[in-house]
Structure 1
């Protein structure tokens, strides 16, 4: 079964080389540009990861070890904010 055309219009790049999609249903799209000139946009929905990555956990563990060992920077003065 072939997909039917829902929207058909001509778009152009603005002065900053941006392309605007009219009535876009999604905020984010994965873009694939092929050497034959075809461009495919696939909708993407950003989701919150279910867990913290192993790299982030290792970095947190190292930070706590440094804190407990006294390897910390001098206090930062935030009164200006």
Structure 2
């Protein structure tokens, strides 16, 4: 015999093992793609939020500081 016998070439995987391995591989691929999509969306939304906050800060700094609003006078009840 020229081939060395190992557990990989001595026994062939049973049908249930190969099906479960294929299912596991497919499920992991789906989960990885969903994770990548979620992370991309989170990064995109974070960038949009930071840009909006920066624009609001610039707008607040551009407004002149005016007078404080007047308080209403209280009237005494009769």
**Same fold, TM-score > 0.5, yes or no:** no
Which interval holds the TM-score relative to the shorter structure? Answer: under 0.3
- TM-score normalised according to structure 1 size: 0.25
More helix by share: 2
Higher RCO structure, 1 or 2 (CA under 8 Å, sep 6+): 1
